[in-house]
Amino acid sequence: MFIKQITLILMLIFYISYFAKMISQRRKGISTDQLGKGKTGFIKFVELSLKAATYILPFVQIASIFLYSKTEHFILQIIGIIITAIGVIIFILSVLQMKDNWRAGVQSEEKTSLVTSGIYSISRNPAFLGFDLMYIGILFSFFNPYLCVATGIAVTLFHLQIVNVEEDFLKDTFGEEYFSYTRRVCRYIGRKF
């Protein structure tokens, strides 16, 4: 039972930090949610699909948590909690260090800075990594086919967002500064030497 409670608490911390950041930025006149806005074609499809997946997946996760009753995979559940907690910590660190440069999606009209220090010195996409780890951790703890498919779709859409939208935007916006950054830091985790 404590596995369910800890997972729900971690989810609550994650989503409170996500929405608190959005509300904080809105009060400063910053529109955080840029997913699908002003986009066309494949990019719009990816961003709107990602948005839908990130709103649907928590319901699938909560249903899985409450309907899951097996205890024979206790070690996997503990590993899942650890992965989930790491994901939550990484996400919170990433949005704190990104300050007002953080957005969900990109908008070429808005000027932001390229953040490369702190957690961004070991991951070019720690917020995405945090989402992915939280999703995968919950999947480990409460595995079922529905959650597996929903998690797989969400993680795939996050990757498509990174490689088809975010990276192109950053190349166009920051040029050599971004290319230099990509030569030093891996897309998800690690430094290049």
Q: Could you read off the pLDDT of 90-104 as tens digits, one per residue? A: 999 998 888 766 656
Q: Average of pLDDT values for 78-84?
A: 95
Banded model confidence at residue 56, pLDDT cuts 50, 70, 90: very high
Q: Is residue 73 part of a domain?
A: yes
pLDDT at 41: 85
Model pLDDT, residue 192: 78
- Residue 151 inside a domain? The answer is yes
Residue 189 domain flag = no
Residue 106 has pLDDT above 60, yes or no: no
The pLDDT value given to residue 69: 64
Domain that holds residue 171: 2-10+41-102+114-184
Higher per-residue confidence, 1 vs 129: 129
Amino acid at 88: V
Q: Is pLDDT of 157 > 60?
A: yes
Sign of CA dihedral 182, 183, 184, 186: positive
The mean per-residue pLDDT over the stretch 17-46 comes to 77
Number of structural domains found in the chain: 1
Q: Residue 78: inside a domain, yes or no?
A: yes
Q: What residues contact residue 130 under an 8 Å CB cut-off, 6+ apart?
A: 14, 87, 88, 89, 90, 91, 92, 94
- Position 176 scores a pLDDT of 93
In a domain, 79, yes or no: yes
Residue 90 lies in a domain: yes
- Residue 127 placed within a domain: yes
Does the pLDDT at position 11 exceed 90? yes
* Token representation of residue 8: 């729900």
Query: Has residue 31 been placed in a domain?
Result: no
Contact by Cβ (8 Å): 171, 102 = no
Whole-number percent of the chain with pLDDT over 90: 51
Instruction: Show Cβ contacts of residue 139 under 8 Å, excluding neighbours closer than 6 positions.
Output: 80, 147, 148, 151
Q: Give the C-alpha distances (Å, rounded to integers) separating 171 from 27, 40, 137, 157, 175.
A: 29, 19, 32, 20, 5
Q: What are the backbone angles phi and psi of residue 9, rounded to the nearest 5°?
A: -65, -45
Determine the average pLDDT of the residues in 17-23: 84
